[in-house]
Amino acid sequence: AQSVTQLGSHVSVSEGALVLLRCNYSSSVPPYLFWYVQYPNQGLQLLLKYTSAATLVKGINGFEAEFKKSETSFHLTKPSAHMSDAAEYFCAVTDRGSTLGRLYFGRGTQLTVWP
């Protein structure tokens, strides 16, 4: 089974600072990777996805992530944090094979943005 590790359950940054949320996956075959954001009392919103050879993926709200096969990582970044970015972020992975339709999630990283 796949597993996803998100380093740091809480990350705090100042408004305007770089946001870096870390995600590592365990798979010998590159899976499909996703970042989702969850605001309080809401469902998950897809930020971006990696499903192809393009290793740098751009998503919504200025976020991007880089797939690094050698490091089995898919870290999420944003050059300049905004107050509205405060939320919980989840990294997820799915196999390309028989468990299609099943996402494996990390434990989430709560992002706090200070004014």
Partner 1 sequence: KAGVTQTPRYLIKTRGQQVTLSCSPISGHRSVSWYQQTPGQGLQFLFEYFSETQRNKGNFPGRFSGRQFSNSRSEMNVSTLELGDSALYLCASSSSGSSYEQYFGPGTRLTVT
| Chain residues that interact with partner 1, rule: CB under 8 A | 32, 34, 36, 41-46, 49, 51, 90, 94, 99-108
CB of 108 to partner 1, least distance (A): 7
Distance of alpha carbon 55 from alpha carbon 63, whole angstroms? 14
3-state secondary structure of 61: helix
Task: Collect all residues with Cβ–Cβ distance below 8 Å to 54 and sequence separation of at least 6.
Answer: none
Residue 41 or 115 having the CB closest to partner 1: 41
CB of 100 to partner 1, least distance (A): 7
